[in-house]
Every structure is written in structure tokens, then in C-alpha cells.
Structure 1
Amino acid sequence: MSTERRELIAKKACTRCSTQKRRCDKAIPYCGLCTRLRQTCKYELPRVSSSGPTPSPSPRPEIFLGSGTFTPSHLKDAIIQKFGPLTPEDTLSAYCRAIEPWFPIVSIPRLRSRLSLTWDEAPLDVALLCLSIILLTTTPASSPEDDNDPSEFKSLYLYTKSSMTATEGLGINSFLIVQSRILVTLFEVAHGFYPAAYISIGAAVRAADALEIHPGADASPSHSLDDGAKREETVLIWCGILILDRYIAIESGPHPSLTRLRSQSLHDLLKPTLCPTHLHHQDRTNPICRLARLFEASSLLDKIHTTLNSPTAEHAFKELISTVETLINLQTILNEEIGDGVQLYAGGLGLCNTALLLAFEDGSKVPLIAGVTENCKSVATTSLISIVSTITSTVEPFTLGMQSIDFNFLPPFVTFLVHKAAAIVTGWLLMDSDSNEGMRKLRILRNFLRIVGERWLGCERYLKLLNEDTTPRTLKALEQG
């Protein structure tokens, strides 16, 4: 078995299993038993022998800031204390297992070449990227968050953010640090941390720009990369930024994405690397190819968002029809590429369906104009009902227990799609509260959000938004069902 996919095993049982004398599978970062019981899982750090040197307390950035001796080395030492028993190889494995399948923005061969056998040998930007990977692959606590007493999950997030700010204050920037910013922004999106995600994507854009404008700030080994490697790193970070920027814009209402005015220049930058992925002989499992599909779907999603908020109605209507046709073609291609049974895990298809859902919802609400919009409204309404039914049937097996969700492969982008479908069905029920089929669909969609909420906390936010728009009668009927 390859090191990328191997299970992470600790040398000793976790503290809880050891204390209660339970059988522990020693899985890192959380053992299987604690995960099933939804208990906090910790591993005891290796102890230093009494004859050896006395270990120093874990360094914290605020200590060095107060003493006036804060350096990149101090920050790195503080970060690596957070890894506990995890090795650099463990972190790489975590990325390969739970992020790379649906958001491959880090080059695995190059990250492996930069990782050392021990954390002490790793540079600061590698440590920060690894901290971001651990953050994104960490499962949230089962109990509700308390702002006055945050869980280890929330504390790790705040620590990662503060470390990133400290790196910025030290004047250090690199490809890996920008990738760290992207992963932290993705974490905020997945767990519904707004407005943090909205703010973080802007910082990621500026950090990526700074790589070109202020190249002297790059104090990492990446300066030794050849032109081809640097070009690929540039493509990876800008694809990640654009995908997230467009997704966050959809979440944030009518406001445009930050990069919209630069889309053409950025597409020209990315085109030489992304275009070959459209050739039939290309390996569809290639990370660049998979990222290209996600990027392509996000581009069309942004076009739909732009068109729906365009002040020129006539132009917008024609543009909308053209983009919908392109989306349907891409949807067909993606369905053929991914095969049956894995639509839920296809991030590009999820963004594609989100764009179609928004377009058909808007089309179903246009004022009727005989001979002009009458047919379009009818087609949009029929298409909207069809796509909502497709989304419901896709997630239904997971709510009935017929299939289990593999969260390692589940992109958080699918949660907004399900939430939007549920919001549309909720609107239908306001007009026809006795619709049994509508209640069935809404129950399935909401139950799916509850299940996925154990991994991506953004689902809890979506359920709260749905509750605000749902009548007490409907909520009571859902509970009784």
C-alpha cells in the first residue's frame, strides 16, 4: 500500500481508551472508538527520560511578541508543538487522503520533496501549510461551540489564523503560504465561518499578487524551483483562489466576486496549463485535469451570477440562455466521466448543478410576456422541478442508511447545492403546504444536511437559515415525519 493512502497509527492507545481499558485502533488524529462515541480523543506525547534534558514549555507567538525576540524560528517552533505525535509524512498522508481527492491545489511530489524526516528540519512555510492541512482534516467537536470556552477544534483554527498573521508580520510569503491561506479559507467556507471566509479570500488574492510584486519576500526553498514548476504552482494557487472566490460570491448575494474584473487576464495566465486537459487522451485522474474541471464549472457559475445581477435585462436574458446551454453540455460531459454512483463526490458537477439551479429558479420567476418569455418560463419551471428531484434522489440513499458517506471524498461545495434545493422546496410549500411530495423532498434534503453537519459545520448554518424561512406548521410536520 502506498504511503499516501496508508492509515495513520499511533504507537500507544489514546488517553481515553487507555484510562478506560478499551480496545483502541490507535488511528490518528482520532481513534475509531472515540469517533463513533463522539468523544474527545487525545494521544499522550512521548515523554523525555529523566536523564535527558528538561523539555521547554510549548512556545507561543504572544510570548515572543511580548519579549521583543519574535523570529521566524520562534514561530516555527510554536507551530510544530501543535503536531504532537504526527510526523511530516503523516500530514502528507492526511492531505492525500482527505483533501487532494476533491481540491488538489498542492503538488504532492513537490511537497514531499520539501518535507523532511523531522519537523525541526522543515522550513516555516512547510510547517504552516502542514498546520493548515491538519486544521482542514480535523473533525469538529460533537457538542455546540461556546465562545467563552472554545473547543480544541475552534482553538486550532484561531491558532492557525494567528500564526498566518504572524508570518505576514514577519514579511514572509511563498507559494506554500498562499496555499495555506487558501486551505484556511476553504475551512471557513466549509464550516460556515462568515464573514471570515469573505475577508480571507481577499487576503489570499493579495498574497498571490505579492508573489509577483514582492518576490524578495519568498524566503522558502521554492526559489529553487525551475520555471515549469513555478508556472504549475502559480496555476494551482490561482485555480484554488478563483474557485473559492466565485463560490463565496454566490454565498454573499448580489456582490461580484473579487477577481471578476481580472478574469480574462487570469484565464490567459492559466490557459496554457489547463487547456490540454480537454484533450481526450488526457488522464482524467490527473490532479490538474480534475482541478481544471472544477475551475471550468466555477467559471460558468460566476457567469450565471453575473448575468442574474446584470442591470441590462435584455442582454442578461440572452447571456443566461447561452450560459445554461454551455452548463448542460458540461454537465453531460462530467456525468459521462465520473460514472454512476459517485455524483455526490464530484465537486465540478456540484458547482454545475448549483449554477443550473440558480438559473432555472430565476427563469421560473420572470414575468410572463406572451410570445417572448412564456415558453422560457415554462421550460425553466419544468427544468427546476427536474433538477431538484435529481438532487433529492442523489442524496436520499445516504439519508436512509442504504449508503454511508465517505467524508474524505465529499467536497463541502455540495452542501450549498442541497441547501439551495431545500430552500426552493420550502418556498413551494409556502404556496402548497399540503404537498406530500414536497414534504418528502424537504425532509430528505434537511436530513442530509444534518448528517453532513457532523463533518462540515456550514450545514448547521444552512439549517438555521432554512428554519427562519419555514412556517411553524411545516416545521412541526417535518418533526412528526
Structure 2
Amino acid sequence: MEIEPSFPQAQTASNAPLAPLACATCRKQKRKCDKQLPSCSLCLRIGRPCDYTEELRAGSAPSPEDFNALRQEVAELRNLLTRDPALSSTSGNNVATNSSYSDDSSAFHSNGPPTHGSLPNDILSPTGNGSQSGSTWPGPSSFPSLFFLDSNAFEYERFQIQAPYVRVPPGALSCLGSSTELRAMIEHYFDSVHSYFPIVSKIRLYQHLSNPLHEPGADIALLFMSMKLACNELPDGTPPQSQLYQDVKSFYHYIEAQNGFSIQLIQALALIGLYETGHAIYPAAYLTIGHAARLGIAMGIHERSVPQMLAKPTTWTEQEERRRVWWGVIVLDRYVNIGNKGKPFASADPSLASILPTDDASWDRGQMLATAPLALSASTSIRASPFARTCQASHLLGKVLRHINDKSLPLDYRFEEALQLSRTVRAFAMLLPEEAESDDPSHPTLCTSMALCYSAILELFDAYSCTERAVPNAPDTQVVMQEEAIRGISDFSAGALTLARRIRSFAERVGLGRLSPLVLDALYQATANYAWYVRESSDPSCAEHAAELKEVLVMCDRRWKVAGEYIRIIEATEFALASSIR
């Protein structure tokens, strides 16, 4: 299988043939063209036709692509004129400034100190201040509405969506500091968040930065800011809604309002949702993750057979990145619904034919594997990458939550399905600790998948363990499931305790940077279960286990503030019960 390079490098050989003039598109947009034949590097990277002819041959009829390009040019010009009427009386060079990379992007290499409130007021507010509002907030959309109004006609006409270039606002990247500080932040991100949530291609990101023909736009800037937000450890007493968080959220809405849709946009949104989930910023976390799911569906990354908003990927690494982004959205969507009962998911369950993420290390290096892709339907006993295990666990978590929320199931089928889910999740949860034995002690990559399994099975058992919830005249499988749930709560609370000890051990060695916020619900559920055992039986060993889990949550609170929220919930419940007894 031949795969074109993702980011072609400019030819530097002295004998390389060059076109006498820049291509038509580069001339129109007043962008630098390397004049490579048969296609310039910029057109090849973006995936658009490259035309070196001065004009159509006499007598030849314009093609549908020519009409589409003309429509888009007219829409862009109308959009520019609507934004600033003064453009109609200025030279063409001023018009080009709005669609090409400007000197304001030097913020990528700013040597000044980081500042707060880096985004100007006219970007943070849709109305802006005075006359500046019309020059920054977008005017009428040039997005082809046919894509949503009639996708069949859109595909029949073979239209392509040309993503607009969104300028980086002045000072928007000052929070990232100098180029050296930016590089250090990127390395810190890949050493921390990327270890448990690998949705950004390391090799492709560095190709973006090193390619001399690449023009960083606002989407890349937003991704950098979101990466810094996700890997930033808050000092004690600092609220999660920091200035950086507010700037990232405002910057995202600014780009989205200008139809700057790209894979970087949804990556940034997923990282924002991860940050909000880890710091219990609700309802923002729930809404952000739901928006990421909707945006991914609109782009078409959830299914390759539907109309696509993004250009066709040119490399295996790029295709794998899109797959991982969508799986990341599914993982977050399932996790954010654990405690939020009765709500539908924002994303549909993946089909059993869906391909799981490949080996994480090989993908980071851009190396294709000779092995066949692993489908979701494959046996869980087949060895898989850590992130693939996380995806499998989130899929099982989704099936459990759907089962609990579905009140319309017939009774005989409900308990049979519950028992089947119990067997499936139990088998997978028992498999993971064995695989984790071969993990690097300083980098336990399977903690997230184990925690998601424990969250799923403890949720399932909690729904069937209470005798007060028993249904009269139910089939005998109800009693079987109840016995299974009562035993299982004890077994898997102990499993979550073992996981907590593992987390504390590696955190004491390498710190909390690689701690995933997705492990904390399992620790919370286990703590609540042991606290319930103490109230029921006054078992001193259960009291010790609950206290040990609380200590781990207190430690995790230094990285993710949601751990402190879980502790307050447990303590509030204990206080309420103690007060009722008195």
C-alpha cells in the first residue's frame, strides 16, 4: 500500500525543475509558492488542485471545480467586505492580510514573560469594544450550507470544504512564553497527559513545527494552549477556572465562530473536557464533551463512509490520529455519565467492527505494524496497547450504563443481561492486573483501563445489590444477580484498593504528572462502599481500608481537584447518617 508523505518537504536540489511562476492559488492568496512540479508543496499538503496555467485555454469549458473555487472566492470577498467596509477602498494587499499569516504570529517565539488575560477584549466578547468589534468577530459564514442541507447533493457535485485560515490574534500565545518554553511545555505534555490519553500525534506535531512551508494558524495555537492547560498542575489554593482556562475557552469559541474546523480543534476541545472533568468544573465538563462528540460527528471522523468535512488523510499516522481522537471522545463521553444517571450518551456505541487504536509507541514513531488491525469484536485475551485497553474498558462501561438507564427491558431479559455483563466485565477486569505485572513500575499504563472496569462493575453491582430494590414476582435470575452483586462489591472494592496502592507507589516515585483523572471515580466508589460496610457492621478492617483510600484521594487532589470533591461527598454522607442516628 502506497502512502503519500503527510508533510512534503521542499526540493532543494539545484537540478529540480521549477515552474516559471507561482501557482494560481498562491498568486490569488498572495502566499509564498515554492513552484515545485507537478504540484507546489502548499497545495499538496492542503490537498487542493495546483494550477500553474495563466488562464483557461481558449474555448475550454470551466470545470465544476472552477465554479466551486469561484463561488468560494466570492463568498470570502463578501465576508471580508462585510467585516470591514474600509477594505473596499483600500489596496488588495490589505485584503490579503486577513487570509494569510501575519507578523502577529511572532507570539510563537515571544521572549517576553507570560501574561494573563492575553486575548484582547474584542475576542473575548462577541460584541467587542467600539469599532474594533467588526474587524475581529466574523461576519456572514462562507461555509457551504449544502453540506448540512443536502449532503447527497454535496457529494454528487464533488464539492470540497476549503477550511478558512484563521489568524492568530495578537498576544494570544503570550501565555506560552518563548519558543524554548513552548518546546518544554510540549515535551512535558507528551511525558504526562499523552501517556494515558494519546490523541495527539507527536511526530505529526513536530512535523508541523519543523516544516518551513507550514503556516501555523489559530487552530495550532489553540491546541498548544489546551495542551498546556491539560498538563498544568495547579498550585494549592488556585481555582481551576484560571485565566488560562478562560482564555482557552474564549479562544475556542472565536475559532469556531469563523468555521476554523480542523482535527486540532476537536483535539483541543477534548483536552479542555479532560481538564474540566479532572477539576469538577460542571456543567461545563458535561457540555464540552457533548460538544466534542457533536463536532466529531459533524466532521465525519466517527465514520469514514459519511460525508467528510476534513480532507482525506494522506498517511496512516494521520488516519490513526483521527481514530484516536474519536475514541478519546467516546472514553470521555462514557466517563462523564457514570454519576449522571439517566442521560443519553452524546456519541453512539461503536460497532463491533470498529478498529481499536494500534500500538502507542509505534504510532508515536510513525511506524506501521505488520500485524492486522484489532477490531472491537476481537477477544479481550488478545494483547492490545494500553490505550486500546482503555477504549475496550470504556465500551464495556457504556454497555453497563445503558443497561442501568434502560427501564423498558423485560424483567427476564434484564437480569439475564445483567449476569452476562457481570461475567464479561469481571473477566476483563481480572485480565488487566496480570498484564500490568509486566508494566514499567515508573509508568503503569494500564491504571486507566483497570479503573474504568472497576467503575463499570461497581456501578452494575450497586444497581442490583440492595434488597429494597428487588422487583416482586421477578424470575429466579434476580436472586442470582443479587448474590453476584453482593459478593462482587466486596471483591472489586478490594481490587480498587489495590489499584490505589499502585497509584500511590508510582506517584511517590515519579510524581502526579501521569495520573489520569479517569481513575478517580473507581477510588471514590470503593471508598463509599467501605464507608457503607463500616456503618453496617463496624468492621475495623473496612474502616482502615476507607481511611487508606481517603489518603490516596487527598494525594490525588494535589493534581485533580475532583478528588477533593469526592472526599467532601463521602464526608457529607457520613455526617448526615451520624446526625440521623443521634
- Shared fold per TM-score greater than 0.5: yes
1:346 is aligned to 447
Q: How does 1:231-250 map to 2 (within 5 A)?
A: 231-250=319-338
Q: Which of 568, 572, 581 is the aligned partner of 1:464?
A: 568
Q: 1:194 to 1:163 in 2, by over 3 A?
A: same
Count of aligned positions: 404
Q: Which of 408, 422, 437 is the aligned partner of 1:324?
A: 422
Q: Which of 178, 194, 211 is the aligned partner of 1:100?
A: 194
2:272 is aligned to 184
Structure 2: 5+ residue runs without aligned partners?
A: 1-109, 138-164, 301-305, 359-372
Task: Tell me if structure 2 keeps the 8 A contact 1:246–1:257.
Answer: yes
Q: Which of 69, 74, 82 is the aligned partner of 2:135?
A: 69
1:251 aligns with 2:339: yes
Q: Which of 208, 212, 225 is the aligned partner of 1:114?
A: 208
Equivalent-residue separation in structure 1 for 2:112 and 2:544 (angstroms): 55
Q: 1:455 to 1:280 in 2, by over 3 A?
A: closer
Q: Which amino acid aligns with 2:567?
A: L
Q: Which amino acid aligns with 2:543?
A: M
Task: Tell me if structure 1 keeps the 8 A contact 2:465–2:482.
Answer: yes
Q: Which of 519, 522, 528 is the aligned partner of 1:423?
A: 528
2:251 is aligned to 163
Q: 1:192 to 1:109 in 2, by over 3 A?
A: same
2:299 is aligned to 211
Give the superposed CA RMSD. 3.5
Q: 1:428 to 1:96 in 2, by over 3 A?
A: same
1:295 is aligned to 391
Task: Classify the secondary structure of the residue corresponding to 1:168.
Answer: helix
More helix as a share of residues:
1
Equivalent-residue separation in structure 2 for 1:214 and 1:170 (angstroms): 21
1:435 aligns with 2:539: yes
1:410 aligns with 2:515: yes
1:128 aligns with 2:222: yes
Task: Tell me if structure 2 keeps the 8 A contact 1:397–1:403.
Answer: no
Shift of residue 399, structure 1, vs aligned partner: 6.3
Shift of residue 244, structure 1, vs aligned partner: 0.5
Task: Tell me if structure 2 keeps the 8 A contact 1:201–1:245.
Answer: yes
Shift of residue 358, structure 1, vs aligned partner: 1.5
Q: Which of 201, 213, 231 is the aligned partner of 1:137?
A: 231
Shifted more, 340-349 versus 198-207: the winner is 340-349
Q: Which amino acid aligns with 1:317?
A: F
Task: Classify the secondary structure of the residue corresponding to 1:250.
Answer: coil
> What does the per-residue CA deviation read over 1:34-54, in whole Å, with 9 as the maximum and x for residues that have no partner?
xxxxxxxxxxx8469xxxxxx
Structure number with larger C-alpha Rg: 2
Equivalent-residue separation in structure 2 for 1:176 and 1:465 (angstroms): 36
> What does the per-residue CA deviation read over 1:287-345, in whole Å, with 9 as the maximum and x for residues that have no partner?
xx332211111010111111122222332211111122121222233223221667685
Q: 1:344 to 1:444 in 2, by over 3 A?
A: farther
Equivalent-residue separation in structure 2 for 1:100 and 1:199 (angstroms): 23
2:176 is aligned to 83
Q: How does 1:12-27 map to 2 (within 5 A)?
A: none
Q: 1:361 to 1:282 in 2, by over 3 A?
A: closer
Q: 1:86 to 1:354 in 2, by over 3 A?
A: farther
Q: Which of 335, 340, 355 is the aligned partner of 2:433?
A: 335
Q: 1:454 to 1:281 in 2, by over 3 A?
A: closer
Task: Tell me if structure 1 keeps the 8 A contact 2:117–2:247.
Answer: no
Q: 1:131 to 1:402 in 2, by over 3 A?
A: closer
Task: Classify the secondary structure of the residue corresponding to 1:100.
Answer: helix
Equivalent-residue separation in structure 1 for 2:477 and 2:382 (angstroms): 43
1:449 is aligned to 553
Equivalent-residue separation in structure 2 for 1:194 and 1:104 (angstroms): 24
Equivalent-residue separation in structure 2 for 1:270 and 1:400 (angstroms): 34
Q: Which amino acid aligns with 2:459?
A: L
Shift of residue 224, structure 1, vs aligned partner: 7.9
Shift of residue 201, structure 1, vs aligned partner: 1.2
Q: Which amino acid aligns with 2:290?
A: G
Equivalent-residue separation in structure 1 for 2:116 and 2:244 (angstroms): 18
Task: Tell me if structure 2 keeps the 8 A contact 1:129–1:177.
Answer: yes
> What does the per-residue CA deviation read over 1:433-454, in whole Å, with 9 as the maximum and x for residues that have no partner?
x331222121111111111000
Shifted more, 101-110 versus 368-377: the winner is 368-377
> What does the per-residue CA deviation read over 1:353-380, in whole Å, with 9 as the maximum and x for residues that have no partner?
1111112223322539795444442332
Task: Tell me if structure 2 keeps the 8 A contact 1:335–1:343.
Answer: no
TM-score (norm 2): 0.62
Shifted more, 447-456 versus 73-82: the winner is 73-82
Percentage identity across aligned positions? 21
Equivalent-residue separation in structure 2 for 1:104 and 1:175 (angstroms): 14
Task: Tell me if structure 2 keeps the 8 A contact 1:398–1:404.
Answer: no
Task: Classify the secondary structure of the residue corresponding to 2:337.
Answer: helix
Equivalent-residue separation in structure 1 for 2:117 and 2:207 (angstroms): 28
Shift of residue 63, structure 1, vs aligned partner: 3.6
Equivalent-residue separation in structure 2 for 1:272 and 1:46 (angstroms): 38
Q: 1:421 to 1:344 in 2, by over 3 A?
A: farther
Task: Tell me if structure 1 keeps the 8 A contact 2:523–2:549.
Answer: yes
Q: How does 1:26-65 map to 2 (within 5 A)?
A: 46=111, 60-63=119-122, 65=128
Shift of residue 429, structure 1, vs aligned partner: 3.0
> What does the per-residue CA deviation read over 1:393-416, in whole Å, with 9 as the maximum and x for residues that have no partner?
442477699944632322111111
Task: Classify the secondary structure of the residue corresponding to 2:406.
Answer: coil
Q: 1:264 to 1:337 in 2, by over 3 A?
A: same
2:147 is aligned to none
Shifted more, 389-398 versus 104-113: the winner is 389-398
Q: 1:125 to 1:376 in 2, by over 3 A?
A: same
Q: Which of 211, 226, 234 is the aligned partner of 2:314?
A: 226
Task: Tell me if structure 2 keeps the 8 A contact 1:310–1:316.
Answer: no
Equivalent-residue separation in structure 2 for 1:190 and 1:402 (angstroms): 17
Task: Tell me if structure 2 keeps the 8 A contact 1:449–1:463.
Answer: yes
Shift of residue 110, structure 1, vs aligned partner: 1.1
Equivalent-residue separation in structure 2 for 1:135 and 1:47 (angstroms): 19
Q: Which amino acid aligns with 1:352?
A: C
Shift of residue 431, structure 1, vs aligned partner: 2.5
Task: Classify the secondary structure of the residue corresponding to 2:281.
Answer: coil
Equivalent-residue separation in structure 2 for 1:303 and 1:401 (angstroms): 31
Task: Tell me if structure 1 keeps the 8 A contact 2:451–2:496.
Answer: no
